[in-house]
């Protein structure tokens, strides 16, 4: 499988406004130095707690946010180095399915207007062509031509998400970001939408980035994945390998928190203390050290690198990779005294 998307050392920082006009009070480091590859036809999961930078990373992947540093290569082309017209053409191949089907559809538009909007903006199709295409798309997502002139309020949450999916695939994209596509839906509808996504992927040869904090969904859907914490990747690679043997303490804690009887092995309970720290002033060293149950003194100051531990399985942790070959203070592998740590 060849690569469809590559991120090279991508960082996305936002200024914090407030106080005096034209002055920023600091930078939110939403995504920091992320490198990864996504292959044609796979589903790549991005998981982590709220505020870890998942959605910002996905927005950077499809050019909705310009990285502060680094490159986004889509089909080998640097997205952010393209002239405006070329960028717009390329961008049509990359679409997004939004989290909330209630707020992502304009309540004043009917289904035809919603689904045909991307074609209308592109301006290459006649009214008849757009109508025929919308009917085809509705049938593809399990709705019908009878729904053409109904409004979002006439539909259930699951049906609205089907309309959102029809809109996302209307321009024949090859790359779709699914941003928590089922988290706002009832459990009974949840599986139906996931099955629809799998079916469409096979029929239309789509590549998905699947953002979720639900690890059971990620296990079901994803071939490969990345676990994010405070803007950085903690562990990434083949999802079977990560679920079978999570190497990073953060991934271990996330998996231990899942109530899923289908996991093969029982895992030790790991309860993380405190909340994710502010991305305005992230901890030096390992970003996870204040909450890590296995943190060592050296983790406070020496940032771990994401290193391939086995084929297509990467982890950023000194416990796994050892401290780098630099001069380290004595006692760097002593456990941190958690009594003194404020999270």
Binding site for ligand SF4 (CB under 6 A): 248-249, 286, 288-289, 292, 294-296, 299, 304, 317-319
Q: How far is the CB of 295 from ligand SF4 (least distance, A)?
A: 4
Q: What number of residues does the chain have? A: 343
> What is the three-class DSSP state of 299?
helix
Q: Which two tokens stand for residue 324?
A: 């780098």
When the beta carbons of 90 and 320 are compared against ligand SF4, the nearer one is 320
When the beta carbons of 210 and 289 are compared against ligand SF4, the nearer one is 289
Whether residue 215 contacts residue 255, with contact meaning beta carbons closer than 8 Å, is answered with yes
When the beta carbons of 165 and 230 are compared against ligand SF4, the nearer one is 230
- Give the whole-angstrom CA distance, residue 238 versus residue 215: 14
Whether residue 238 contacts residue 313, with contact meaning beta carbons closer than 8 Å, is answered with yes
- Give the whole-angstrom CA distance, residue 234 versus residue 287: 9
Q: How far is the CB of 205 from ligand SF4 (least distance, A)?
A: 38
When the beta carbons of 208 and 288 are compared against ligand SF4, the nearer one is 288
When the beta carbons of 127 and 327 are compared against ligand SF4, the nearer one is 327
When the beta carbons of 190 and 287 are compared against ligand SF4, the nearer one is 287
> What is the three-class DSSP state of 37?
strand
- Give the whole-angstrom CA distance, residue 215 versus residue 45: 9
Q: Which two tokens stand for residue 11?
A: 């960082």
Find the helix or strand (DSSP H, E) in which 19 lies: none
Q: How far is the CB of 246 from ligand SF4 (least distance, A)?
A: 11
Q: How far is the CB of 218 from ligand SF4 (least distance, A)?
A: 20
Q: How far is the CB of 283 from ligand SF4 (least distance, A)?
A: 9
- Give the whole-angstrom CA distance, residue 226 versus residue 136: 35
When the beta carbons of 224 and 248 are compared against ligand SF4, the nearer one is 248
Find the helix or strand (DSSP H, E) in which 197 lies: helix 187-204
- Give the whole-angstrom CA distance, residue 116 versus residue 112: 6
Q: How far is the CB of 274 from ligand SF4 (least distance, A)?
A: 14
Q: How far is the CB of 141 from ligand SF4 (least distance, A)?
A: 41
């Amino acid at each position: 499988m060849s690569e469809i998307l590559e991120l090279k050392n991508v960082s996305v920082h936002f200024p914090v406004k407030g106080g005096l006009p034209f002055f920023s009070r600091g930078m939110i480091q939403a995504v920091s130095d992320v490198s990864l590859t996504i292959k044609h036809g796979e589903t790549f999961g991005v998981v982590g707690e709220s505020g870890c930078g998942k959605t910002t990373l996905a927005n950077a992947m499809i050019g909705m946010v310009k990285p502060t540093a680094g490159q986004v290569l889509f089909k080998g082309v640097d997205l952010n180095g393209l002239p405006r017209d070329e960028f717009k053409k390329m961008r049509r191949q990359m679409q997004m399915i939004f989290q909330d089907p209630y707020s992502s559809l304009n309540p004043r538009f009917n289904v035809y207007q919603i689904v045909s909007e991307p074609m209308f903006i592109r301006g290459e199709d006649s009214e008849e062509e757009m109508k025929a295409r919308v009917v085809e798309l509705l049938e593809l997502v399990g709705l019908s031509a009878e729904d053409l002139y109904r409004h979002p309020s006439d539909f259930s949450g699951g049906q609205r998400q089907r309309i959102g999916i029809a809109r996302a695939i209307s321009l024949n994209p090859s790359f779709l970001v699914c941003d928590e596509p089922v988290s706002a839906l009832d459990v009974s509808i949840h599986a139906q939408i996931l099955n629809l996504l799998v079916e469409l992927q096979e029929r239309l040869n789509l590549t998905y980035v699947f953002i979720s904090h639900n690890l059971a969904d990620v296990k079901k859907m994803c071939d490969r994945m990345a676990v994010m914490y405070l803007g950085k990747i903690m562990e990434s690679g083949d999802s079977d390998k990560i679920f079978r043997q999570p190497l990073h303490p953060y991934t271990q804690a996330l998996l231990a928190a899942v109530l899923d009887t289908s996991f093969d092995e029982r895992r030790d309970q790991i309860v993380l203390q405190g909340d994710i720290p502010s991305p305005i002033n992230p901890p030096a060293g390992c970003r996870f050290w204040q909450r890590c149950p296995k943190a060592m003194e050296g983790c406070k100051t020496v940032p771990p690198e994401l290193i391939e531990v086995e084929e297509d399985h990467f982890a950023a942790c000194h416990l796994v990779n050892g401290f780098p070959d630099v001069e380290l203070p004595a006692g760097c592998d002593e456990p941190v005294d958690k009594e003194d740590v404020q999270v």
